[in-house]
Structure 1
Amino acid sequence: MKKEYDFAKMQAVRNPYATALKKQITIRLNSGTVEYFKAMAKEVGIPYQTLIDSYLTDCALSKRRLNIRWK
């Protein structure tokens, strides 16, 4: 490994995967829901936020819709 690198002659290149990057948001979830996903994530050995993201991505890709009826 070099002691110093010279980046002056290099051109910047856009990240080709930038559109696939995740977006950070704030979301409020019931504590029971979070605990459910944390327990499931521990079983399968992945972070719970990754599990929630995977589940929501699956819902979006399959165009799953809730059947909600307000009284």
Structure 2
Amino acid sequence: MKKEYDFSKGIRGKFYSPDARFNLPIYLEPEIAEFIEKLASLKNMDTSQMVNDLLKKDKEIIEYANHLQKL
């Protein structure tokens, strides 16, 4: 690595985008990943869409259970 770098022609914020979204990778256990891939294949869906659909259903169940606890 050089001791000094010349940034005199650099442009500050050239690649900055305030609307950018950062998607974190999610690592599934091999057994779960295989199950999701098979299920997605059977339904002719993308694996990401399958995971999102399953998580949405879990979210609905959790929200419903929390609602019942408040009654």
Place the TM-score, normalised by the shorter chain, in its bin: 0.5 to 0.7
- Offset from partner CA, 1:39-68 (integer Å, 9 cap, x none): 011101001110011100110122178xxx
Aligned to 1:54: 53
Tell me how far apart the structure 1 counterparts of residues 22 and 57 of structure 2 sit (CA, whole Å): 17
Q: RMSD in angstroms over aligned alpha carbons?
A: 2.5
- Corresponding residue of 1:45: 44
- Please give the alpha-carbon distance, in whole angstroms, between the structure 2 residues aligned to 1:43 and 1:36: 11
2:33 aligned residue: 34
**What is the distance in 2 between the residues matched to 1:24 and 1:57?**
17
Q: Which runs of 5+ in 1 are unaligned?
A: 1-21, 66-71
Q: Which has the higher helix share?
A: 2
Moved over 6 A (4+): none
The residue matched to 1:63 in structure 2 has which SS?
Answer: helix
**What is the identity, as a one-letter code, of the residue corresponding to 2:51?**
I
Bigger Rg, structure 1 or 2: 2
Seq. identity, % = 11
